[in-house]
């Protein structure tokens, strides 16, 4: 499993050991929105969750810079190291 850190508009980046990139994205967006993760729309409406996990897990050594997409009104950037950065979409 990936270790990821999450940075939202409300909290500093913190490590989330054992959290996959998909889970880290949902947690980060829920935290930024101040809502329960179960209240968010399905992540697969924004990005293929399996592909996201595989790209981050497989590309840590190959130099993937980042993957960015919009989800639930937030701009999400997942770095090649698994860090998640969330900002409110304009």
In a structure prediction context, what are the per-residue pLDDT tens digits for the chain, which is 90 residues long?
A: 444 455 544 433 434 457 889 999 999 999 999 999 999 999 999 999 999 998 887 756 666 788 999 999 999 999 888 889 999 998
Domain count, the chain: 1
Return the pLDDT at 52: 93
Give the domain extent around 17: 4-88
Return the pLDDT at 89: 94
Asked whether 71 and 29 are in contact (CB, 8 A), the reply is yes
CA distance 71 to 61: 26
Model-level pTM?
0.79
CA distance 25 to 84: 6
């Amino acid at each position: 499993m990936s270790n990821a850190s999450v940075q939202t508009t409300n909290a500093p980046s913190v490590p989330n050991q054992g959290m996959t990139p998909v889970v880290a994205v949902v947690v980060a967006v829920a935290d930024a929105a101040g809502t329960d993760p179960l209240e968010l729309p399905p992540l697969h409406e924004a990005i293929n969750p399996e592909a996201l996990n595989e790209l981050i897990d497989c590309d840590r050594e190959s130099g993937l810079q980042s993957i960015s997409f919009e989800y639930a009104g937030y701009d999400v950037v997942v770095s090649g190291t698994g860090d998640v950065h969330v900002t409110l979409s304009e």
